[in-house]
Amino acid sequence: MKKSVFLGVVAATTMVAGVASAQATLETVKARGELICGSNTGLTGFGAPDASGNWVGFDVDLCRAIAAAVFGDPTKVKFVPTTGETRFTALQSGEVDVLIRNSTWTLSRDTELALDFVAVNYYDGQGFMVKSDLGVSSAKELDGATVCIQTGTTTELNLADFFKQNNISYQPVTVADDSEAQRQYLAGACDAYTTDASGLAASRATMPDAANHVILPEIISKEPLGPVVRHGDSNWGDIVRWTYFALLIAEEKGITKANVEEVATSTADEEVKRLLGLSGDMGAKIGLDNAAFKNAIASVGNYGEIFAANIGEGTAINLARGLNALWTQGGLQYAPPFR
Q: Which is nearer to another protein, 18 or 72 (CB)?
A: 18
Sign of the Cα pseudo-torsion (114, 116, 122, 127, in order): positive
**Contact assessment for residue 191 and residue 144, using Cβ atoms and an 8 Å cutoff:** no
Instruction: Based on the shown chain and the rule CB under 8 A, indicate whether residue 91 belongs to the binding site for another protein.
Output: no
Nearest to 45 by CA among 256, 250, 324: 324
Task: Write the DSSP assignment of 138-167 as a string of letters.
Answer: SGGG-TTEEEEEETTSHHHHHHHHHHHHTT
Question: Which of these ranges, 14-22, 223-231, 242-250, 294-302, lies near another protein under the rule CB under 8 A?
Answer: 14-22
- Residue pair 240/211 in contact by the 8 Å Cβ criterion: no
Residue pair 65/35 in contact by the 8 Å Cβ criterion: no
Q: Is 207 in the site for another protein (CB under 8 A)?
A: yes
CB closer to another protein, 94 vs 287: 94
Cα separations in angstroms, 258 against 55, 85, 262:
22, 39, 8
Nearer to another protein, 101 or 274 (CB): 101
43 binds another protein (CB under 8 A): yes
| Span from 90-98, 107-115, 153-161, 288-296 in contact with another protein (CB under 8 A) | 90-98
Q: How many residues bind another protein, per CB under 8 A? A: 48
Q: Work out how close the CB of 293 gets to another protein at its nearest, in angstroms, rounded to a whole number.
A: 29
Question: 63: closest CA among 86, 31, 29, 93?
Answer: 29
Pick from 154, 169, 179, 259: which binds another protein (CB under 8 A)? 179
- Chain-centroid distance of CA 126 in Å reads 15
Residue 153 neighbours by CB distance under 10 Å: 15
User: Are the C-beta atoms of residues 151 and 176 closer than 8 Å to each other?
Assistant: yes
User: Cβ–Cβ contacts within 10 Å for residue 110, how many?
Assistant: 14
Which amino acid, residue 149? I
Cα 15 from chain centroid? 29
Per-residue binding string, another protein, 98-137, x by CB under 8 A, is ----------------------------------------
Backbone angles phi, psi at 299, to 5 degrees: -85, -40
From candidates 44, 195, 295, 324, binder to another protein by CB under 8 A: 44
SS3 229: strand
320 binds another protein, rule: CB under 8 A: no
37 binds another protein (CB under 8 A): no
- Which listed residue (42, 152, 254, 336) binds another protein by CB under 8 A? 42
**Total residue length of the chain:** 339
Give the integer Cα–Cα distance in Å for 331 and 310.
Answer: 19
- Choosing from 143, 161, 177, 270, the residue that interacts with another protein (CB under 8 A) is 177
Q: Binding string, 280-319, against another protein, x = CB under 8 A? A: -----------------------------------xxx--
Which of 67-75, 176-184, 228-236, 288-296 is the region at the interface with another protein (rule: CB under 8 A)? 176-184
Minimum gap (Å) between residue 190 Cβ and another protein: 16
77-82 and 35-40 beta bridge pairing: parallel
Q: How far is the CB of 206 from another protein (least distance, A)?
A: 4
Task: Identify the CA nearest to 115 among candidates 14, 239, 230, 235.
Answer: 230
182 binds another protein (CB under 8 A): yes
> Shortest distance, CB of residue 48 to another protein, whole angstroms?
3
CB of 317 to another protein, least distance (A): 6
* Residues of this chain that bind another protein (CB under 8 A): 10, 13-14, 16-18, 20-21, 28, 40-45, 47-53, 78, 80-83, 85-86, 89-90, 93-95, 177-179, 182-183, 202-203, 205-208, 315-317
